[in-house]
A and B are shown apart, each in its own frame.
Chain A
Amino acid sequence: MERRGATQHLRLAPRPVTILLDILHDFVAFFQLTAFSSVTWQMATMWVVCGVLFYLGVHKKFEPLLLVPIAFGALLANLPTEGMITSRVLADGLVETGVLTVHGTPLDTGGFRIDHITGGLYDFLYQGIKLEIFPPLIFLGIGALTDFGPLIANPRTLLLGAAAQLGVLATFLGAGLLGFNAQQSASIGIIGGADGPTAIFLTSKLAPELLGAVAVAAYTYMALVPLIQPPIMRALTTAKERKIRMQSLRQVSRLEKLVFALLVTVTVILLVPAAAPLIGMLMLGNFLRECGVTERLLKASQTEIINVVTIFLGTSVGITMAGENFLRPQTLLIIALGIVAFGLGTAGGVLAAKLLNLFSRRNPINPLIGSAGVSAVPMAARVSQVEGQKADPANFLLMHAMGPNVAGVIGTAVIAGYYIATLGK
């Protein structure tokens, strides 16, 4: 008001000066339309967190394909954007994102006609996570990229993939002791499965409020597998065990691989129906790969589909990382529990391999490949290879480690299915 009075007083001044002052006034008034006043301390803090994630993804190359989109999505979530995403503050102070508003007209017949749906860009894209569409599509690509030959040639390694889920189960207990409820504990525990899409799939279903923290912890630790696993592997094995040379794997025919894909699909879905979206798409992708007659579909699954979905999945996860949700003591606990889950999963796989050796002395397993049961394909298998070569430079464990590695993917999907079936709301 005072400013307007001042302007009126200055109207008596020469015209060019008046115009200049009017422009200045309008320029200052324009700032009321900008978003600077909407910036909160949580947003500013999250910019620093995003900076750290960009550093890890871009400079350190920690799972950059996921961490970079997640970081960018998190940056968008912590800017006062318009037309991007709609947020709603819940009673407990958490922020719910991806809220669509449905406008409609009640019908005389008792129904409801939807006239239009409003929401920002990511309100719609986020439905890919909310409706559990993106993770199974990523699994389609993973299936199309995975060779299950080593697993088929040595099916014992499926048990290593099962044993590595020990980390998931033990971390559930730890999370419960720290005050998380059952759904949240399951979502935190699944970090130990080292399978990002499965972690996102389960968390979006059971504890969507933890999605950002769980996804960041899962992908960061997956990138840190070469640092986390070796000390545990060395601590649990003797020098002699690390030098075990495994028998060469037999060649697996294409028909055998096709039958395997169908067998896994039918068996796992019959036993754990809740794992169907993940296992079904994983094996569809693998069937496309092995059947040899769907080259275009295979190429699309291996490249275009998985790449496009990765962008949307990463940014949609990041967009849930509003400061109000992420800057909580819970996040630090989740990150701490995540590394425990990884460590226990690694130990479970290695110890299971040692246990199997008690029953099969003629054809022993090098326990170093047990650690690959935590998924993280193929990095965990490469860690087994590198550690094996440190003990015996002429020992090649890579193909052997791929067995438990891909078994871990199936195992994590199964345990996720168990949690969804029993804890799903």
Chain B
Amino acid sequence: MPLFPATLALTLPEYPTLADSLQYQLTGFLVVVFTLGSLAALVGLLGRIFAALDKRRGPAGAAAKTALPAHPAAPGDEISPAILAAIAGAVAAALGDSRFAIRSVQMADPRQNLVWSAEGRRSIYASRHVR
């Protein structure tokens, strides 16, 4: 005897009636919502577990977490004159004839995923008309 009885989904005719299709689609929607809802619940639970673990580690743990091995391009490292010249050249090319002064240049932290923040900056920059 099968574990589950035969359902409409498994016996759907090639050309189902509207009522059959509706029932079939609502079942499908339930499958998707249940699957993704279960995932949402599990991921939420996972987040809580990780948050609790972080809390248990306390400040010492957090400090240990941030004390990553020194990266050759960590913030604060000196930027070579060649890179500064390249940045100045890029700024000049972007601003055209405008006068400008570069007050500071900071190395981005490569340990963070900055792709999306860079995308945000790029879109804001692109939306401004440079006079």
A binding-site residues for B, Cβ under 8 Å: 147, 149, 151-153, 155-156, 158-159, 161-163, 165-166, 169-170, 172-173, 176-177, 181-183, 185, 250, 253, 255-256, 259-260, 263-264, 267-268, 271-272, 382, 385-386, 396, 398-399, 402, 407, 410-411, 414-415, 418-419, 422-423
Tell me the complex Cα distance, A259–B24, Å.
Answer: 33
Contact with A along B13-39 (1 / 0, CB 8 A): 111101001101110110111111111
Least CB distance, B106 to chain A, in whole angstroms: 20
- Inter-chain contact A396/B36, CB cutoff 8 Å: no
Chain A, Cβ-Cβ closest to B119: A398
Q: How far is the CA of A158 from the CA of B47 in the complex (A)?
A: 14
Taking a contact as CB atoms closer than 8 A, the residue among B14, B18, B28, B33 that contacts A419 in the complex is B28
Top 4 A-B pairs, shortest CB-CB distance? A155-B43, A162-B36, A158-B40, A422-B9
Q: Is the CB of B37 within 8 A of A418?
A: no
Q: A172-B21, A256-B50 are in contact. Are A147 and B113 (CB under 8 A)?
A: yes
**A182 contacts B16, CB within 8 Å?**
yes
A414 x B10 contact (CB < 8 A): no
Q: Give 1 or 0 for each of B72-107: 1 = CB within 8 Å of chain A CB.
A: 000000000000000000000000000000000000
Of the candidates B14, B31, B36, B38, which one forms a contact with A182 in the assembled complex, judged by CB atoms under 8 Å apart?
B14
Interface size on B, residues (CB 8 A): 38
Q: List 13 A-B contacts (CB under 8 A).
A: A147-B116, A151-B43, A155-B40, A155-B43, A169-B28, A172-B24, A182-B21, A255-B50, A256-B46, A411-B36, A415-B32, A418-B9, A422-B10
Whether A418 touches B120, Cβ cut-off 8 Å, given contacts A260-B43, A271-B34, is no
Q: Determine if B44 is an interface residue (Cβ-Cβ < 8 Å).
A: yes
In this complex, what residue of B is CB-closest to A171? B25
B42 to A, closest residue via Cβ: A263
In the assembled complex, the Cα of A330 lies from the Cα of B36 at a distance in Å of 33
If A149-B113, A177-B18, A419-B28 touch, does A272 touch B36 (CB 8 Å cutoff)? no
Are B31 and A173 in contact, with the CB atoms below 8 A?
Answer: no
Mostly, the A contact residues are helix
Q: Interface on B for A, CB 8 Å cutoff? A: 9-10, 12-16, 18, 21-22, 24-26, 28-29, 31-44, 46-47, 50, 113, 115-116, 119-120, 123
Closest-CB distance, A80 to chain B (whole angstroms): 35
Q: A256-B50, A271-B35, A418-B32 are in contact. List 20 more A-B contacts (CB 8 A).
A: A147-B116, A153-B47, A155-B40, A155-B44, A158-B39, A169-B25, A172-B25, A182-B16, A259-B46, A264-B39, A267-B38, A267-B39, A267-B42, A268-B35, A407-B36, A411-B32, A414-B31, A415-B31, A422-B10, A423-B12
Known contacts A162-B36, A268-B39, A414-B35; A263 and B18 CB within 8 A of each other: no
Return the chain A residue nearest B26 by Cβ: A169
Are A173 and B36 CB-contacts (below 8 A) given A260-B43, A260-B46, A414-B31? no
Chain A residues, Cβ within 8 Å of B14: 181-183
Given contacts A172-B21, A182-B13, contact A399 B116 (CB under 8 A): yes
CB < 8 Å neighbour of B47 from A155, A166, A173, A423:
A155
**Which residues from B are CB-within-8-Å of A263?**
39, 42-43, 46
Within the complex, which residue of A156, A162, A183 is in contact with B33, where a contact is CB–CB below 8 Å?
A162
Which residue of the partner chain A has the closest CB to B50? Answer: A256
- Are A396 and B35 also in contact (CB < 8 A) when A181-B14, A256-B50 are? no
In the docked arrangement, what's the CA distance between A267 and B46, Å?
14
Residues of chain B lying within 8 A (CB to CB) of residue A183: 14
Nearest Cβ in chain B — how far from A390, in angstroms? 11
A182 to B12, Cβ gap below 8 A? yes
Contact B47 A152 (CB under 8 A): yes
- CB contacts (< 8 Å) of A255 on chain B: these are 50
- B31 A152 Cβ-Cβ under 8 A: no
Question: From residue A292, how far is it (CB to closest CB) to chain B in Å?
Answer: 12
Q: In the assembled complex, which residues on chain B have CB atoms less than 8 Å from the CB atom of A149? A: 113
- Asked if A176 and B16 sit within 8 Å, CB to CB, the answer is yes
